[in-house]
Amino acid sequence: MLGYIRSVPAVWRVLVCLVFCRNLTSIGAAPICTNAQTGCQALSLANLFDRVIQHSARMHGISNDLHSEFEQYFLPSKNQIGRVSRNCHTSTILTPNGKENAQRMAREELTEVILKLLMAWRDPLWRFHQGMAHNHDFNNFSSNKALEMSDMVHELRKGVEKVADKMQMLGIISNSVSSQVSPEALLPSDSAEWHLMRDYDLLYCFRRDSNKVQNYLKILKCRIVPEHGC
Amino acid sequence: MTASSLPSGLLLLFLISSLDWLSTSAFSSDPNPMTSSDSLEPHFTECISRDQETFRCWWSPGSFHNLSSPGALKVFYLRKVSPVSEWKECPEYIHSKRECFFDVNYTSVWVPYCIQLRGQNNITFDDACFTVENIVRPDPPVSLNWTLLNISPSGLSYDVMVNWEPPPTADVEAGWMRIVYEIQYRERNSTYWEALEVQPHTQKTIYGLHIGKEYEVHIRSRMQAFSKFGEFSDPIFIHVTELYSEETTFPLTFILVFGTLGILILLMLILIFQQQRFMMILLPPVPAPKIKGIDAELLKKGKLDELNLILSGGIGGLHTYAPDFYPDEPWVEFIEVDPEDSAAGEKEDHQGSDTQRLLGLPPPVSLNHHLNIGCSSTISFPDDDSGRASCYGPDVPNQDTLILMAALLPGQAEEEEATLDEVERAPSPEGGESHFVQSQTAGSHTWVNTDFYAQVSNVMPSGGVVLSPGQQLRIQESTLSAEKEMQRKGKEIGACEETGEKKQKGLQFQLLVVDPEGGSYTTESTARQISAAPNSPTPSEGYQTIPPQPADAKPAATAEDNQSPYILPDSPQAPFFAPVGDYTVVQEVDSQHSLLLNPPPNLSPHPCMPQQPLKALPATPVAYVTPDLLGNLSP
């Protein structure tokens, strides 16, 4: 029974990979072609943006679901200040806090912010998923969602990197974008209750950051690929 | 991370959260039942952002009415953008609504906000913390309207498509806000709202509304992946009456019923009035035998004179039975048997009629029996379909009959009188012929000598039936026809004269040239056919074979003759007429529009006849002339 449970996440990982890797193969696997070379799929920038935005929207949805699910375990605290005061580990990354700020920001900076955020969440989410998988209190549904989330972050980061590469290739942005950020996962002690609290905060923080990523991508697309209403 | 750690963690959390219950807050998700209504402190009622760019907060003084005056309560906020943050007062007060408005410059999304409601002396009545994206409640959509999709066939329910516009305050186009909508509808007098699934599109179909009932529909929106809905829009009313649906369906059924009835009546009328035609189609009449030009009624009435006229091709009668007039009846091959041929045939063996052969009777002994003996041996054909291939016996009933029959023979209609002359003249130049005729006349004319199948050539005024040339009559006919042809060919064929000398050479063959256009025909029987006795077995009985290459078979003396395919039977020698069968194969057509027919098989053995040795008859094909070949034959 335990072996089956342990193998299920592996199976789920494969399935999730198949589902989402297929969606992003054009971004991750297929090389971006300059000309119509055989064997590669030349996607337009708008198409890439659409795919990435769709992915980020789904990621944010899952994070919201998990956050709501965690709220059932924990009584909603009135003292939200205490909760909020617990900084997310991504608080050090400077992010635009409004629509106009994001629109005023340079494209390269905005792209870099997105990549930094995605990079920062790779390891914490993976550890979170591992913690959930080993904790039998959570049903497989939540555990699978956690796995899905961590994979999605990984894929989304790759996707955004591809978008950035294409933009750099097209000359829209300069070549100063770098996604090398130091992971700042400052996790406190490993006690059980803090662990649970940390998970809840982690979900809260990730929910907020996924919303940021989603909005930033939308604004970026609106600025680079002009559409009606932008 | 053992199982026991979880309950302890939960207990700890419970303890912590229970301390928070003492302070009431508008931002708690579950209402606090412990709040007493009599002493209600000033508190925040709600903070809402409509566009995720600005937000407002409202407060209420509660039961502290002395604090309801503007300025008595103050709002302070804290924005945790930096590690060090300080409390600031509300940037914009709207005291009439007890509202604190944060515009774009003071609004930061994803940044924790804390607000405090303070009274005099910094007494904090209420505080709350939130982030702007969590307090977003979008405005309701605008321009809500509906269109009728369809009505069910029963006329009791219908479907409606509702569409709207996203709220103008939400920046949906730029993607800053992603909004999903929820439609609710209910019957006019009901209190329960039916909620449809939340979806991000700006239209929705409502199925299964009932005719006659009035419905109320309203819509609200919220942010995707968030939980707080905005206000409901103003309701719209949907009402579809029964009258409309009934009007459309009632006349339709009426039309259908009456249309079907009308069509049925029309079909019945057509059937009744066109009964004859339908009967013709369903049960076609059996075709009765018909002869062209001959009215069946005429035969029934027994008008022999008219019939004779018609048959003989008189005024307005039938056309001469020429092959070209019967293009669709290829089997009709008209053969004229010359009287000379018949005379010649007389010398042949005329074993007897087919009847006699069939019955196995001995051939009749006639005066010219010696002539028949020679031919008898040749008559050994197994098949005698035509019945006329054997030697002809001298069995002419009388000269009158003969004349009439000769006259009535097809192809000789016009020259009836000439034929008569010929017949009369015929006997004079050729004594044997007349003798033959007479002998034939004197011959027994019994029924035994007639065949099973004989063609009725004429009906005598006396009532007797003249059968078509039987074996005995063939000779006379051929004699007569040959005489006639002699006259005709003299003017038609220019080469007759030159062939005349050939006759002087004693060619024992006779030509019966067929002229398709003239409506007459002659058969050609070469001497070799006649002379080539047993060594030239005819391919089939009843066919007068004609060698295709007369030049090949004929001797050198006769080679020149073959160039003109006509050889008039004017030779002083007693010409013999090869008896012609009823059915003869047309071998070829020469340039003079003559059909060269095959001589009858029995003509080939002719030891009785003085003849010159000729080459054997080459095997000739036996075939009928098909219409297309006939067309080829006629140039």
- Using CA coordinates, name the residue in chain A closest to B1: A192
The boundaries of the domain holding residue B74 are 43-135
pLDDT tens column, A42-69: 778 888 899 999 999 999 999 998 888 8
Which residues in chain A have their CB less than 8 angstroms from residue B10's CB?
A: 73
Are residues B164 and B220 part of one domain?
yes
pTM: 0.49
| B109: CATH | 2.60.40.10
Taking the CA atoms of B439, B445, B451 and B453 in sequence, report the sign of the dihedral they define. Answer: positive
In a domain, B273, yes or no: no
Average pLDDT over residues B372-399: 47
Which pLDDT does position B37 carry in this prediction? 52
Are residues B155 and B130 part of one domain?
no
Which pLDDT does position B10 carry in this prediction? 57
Pairwise CA distance, residues B471 & A160, whole Å = 115
Which pLDDT does position B600 carry in this prediction? 56
Which pLDDT does position B531 carry in this prediction? 46
pLDDT tens column, B199-242: 999 999 999 899 989 999 999 999 998 889 999 999 999 998 87
Among residues B113, B60, B57, the alpha carbon closest in space to that of B85 is found at: B113
Size of interface A-B (CB pairs under 8 A): 118
pLDDT tens column, B104-163: 989 989 888 999 998 888 888 888 888 898 999 999 999 999 999 998 888 889 999 999
Token pair recorded at residue B476? 């006379």
- Nearest 5°: the CA angle B48, B53, B59 is 25
In a domain, A53, yes or no: yes
Mean of all residue pLDDT scores within chain B: 66
Are residues B48 and B91 part of one domain?
yes
Higher per-residue confidence, B618 vs B170: B170
Q: Where does a domain end: B100, B135, B170?
A: B135
Q: Is the predicted pLDDT of residue B369 greater than 50, yes or no?
A: no
In a domain, B253, yes or no: no
List CB contacts of A75: < 8 A, sequence separation 6 or more: B13, B14, B17
Q: Which residues pair with B221 in a beta bridge?
A: B181
B20·A79 Cβ contact <8 A: yes
In a domain, A19, yes or no: no
B116–chain A nearest CA distance, Å: 12
B141–chain A nearest CA distance, Å: 17
Which pLDDT does position A224 carry in this prediction? 86
Asked which of B60-69, B261-270, B275-284, B365-374 is least confident by mean pLDDT, the reply is B365-374
Asked which of A127-131, B174-178, B258-262 is least confident by mean pLDDT, the reply is A127-131
Domains in chain B: how many in total?
A: 2
Q: Where does a domain end: B111, B135, B159?
A: B135
Query: Mean pLDDT for each 10-residue chunk of chain A (230 residues)?
Result: 58 60 49 56 82 93 88 61 62 86 89 90 85 72 84 92 88 71 45 61 89 92 80
Q: Is the predicted pLDDT of residue B422 greater than 60, yes or no?
A: no
pLDDT tens column, B88-107: 999 999 989 899 999 998 99
In a domain, A28, yes or no: no
Which pLDDT does position B163 carry in this prediction? 92
In a domain, B79, yes or no: yes
Are residues B177 and B127 part of one domain?
no
Higher per-residue confidence, A220 vs B387: A220
| A179: CATH | 1.20.1250.10
Q: Which residue is listed with tokens 């923080």?
A: A205
Which pLDDT does position A82 carry in this prediction? 47
In a domain, B189, yes or no: yes
pLDDT tens column, B566-612: 444 444 444 445 555 566 667 777 777 777 776 655 544 444 444 44
Query: So what's the ipTM on this one?
Result: 0.76
The boundaries of the domain holding residue A136 are 43-75+87-223
In a domain, B116, yes or no: yes
Q: Is the predicted pLDDT of residue B317 greater than 70, yes or no?
A: no
pLDDT bin (cut points 50, 70, 90) of residue B529 is very low
Which residues in chain A have their CB less than 8 angstroms from residue B12's CB?
A: 193
Are residues B129 and B180 part of one domain?
no
Higher per-residue confidence, B336 vs B68: B68
CA atoms within 13 A on the CB side of B251: 4
Which residues in chain B have their CB less than 8 angstroms from residue A83's CB?
A: 129
In a domain, B238, yes or no: yes
3-state class (DSSP) for residue B283? coil
Which pLDDT does position B267 carry in this prediction? 94
A22–chain B nearest CA distance, Å: 24
3-state class (DSSP) for residue B209? strand
- Nearest 5°: the CA angle B195, B51, A120 is 100
Which residues in chain A have their CB less than 8 angstroms from residue B20's CB?
A: 77-79
Which pLDDT does position B459 carry in this prediction? 79
Whether B447 contacts B436, CB under 8 Å: no
CB-closest option in A75, A195, A196 to B17: A75
Which pLDDT does position B256 carry in this prediction? 93
Asked which of A210-224, B128-142, B374-388, B617-631 is least confident by mean pLDDT, the reply is B374-388
pLDDT bin (cut points 50, 70, 90) of residue B25 is very low
CB-closest option in A84, A214, A219 to B129: A84
Pairwise CA distance, residues A73 & B13, whole Å = 10
Are residues B89 and B52 part of one domain?
yes
In a domain, B62, yes or no: yes
Structural Rg of chain A based on CA atoms: 19
Are residues B104 and B53 part of one domain?
yes
pLDDT bin (cut points 50, 70, 90) of residue B54 is very high
Which pLDDT does position B361 carry in this prediction? 59
Q: What letter would DSSP give residue B289?
A: P
* Helix (H) or strand (E) run with residue A27 in it: helix A2-28
Domains in chain A: how many in total?
A: 1
Pairwise CA distance, residues B532 & B619, whole Å = 12
In a domain, A31, yes or no: no
Q: Where does a domain end: B206, B225, B245?
A: B245
Q: Is B109 on the interface with A (CB under 8 A)?
A: yes
Which pLDDT does position B528 carry in this prediction? 47
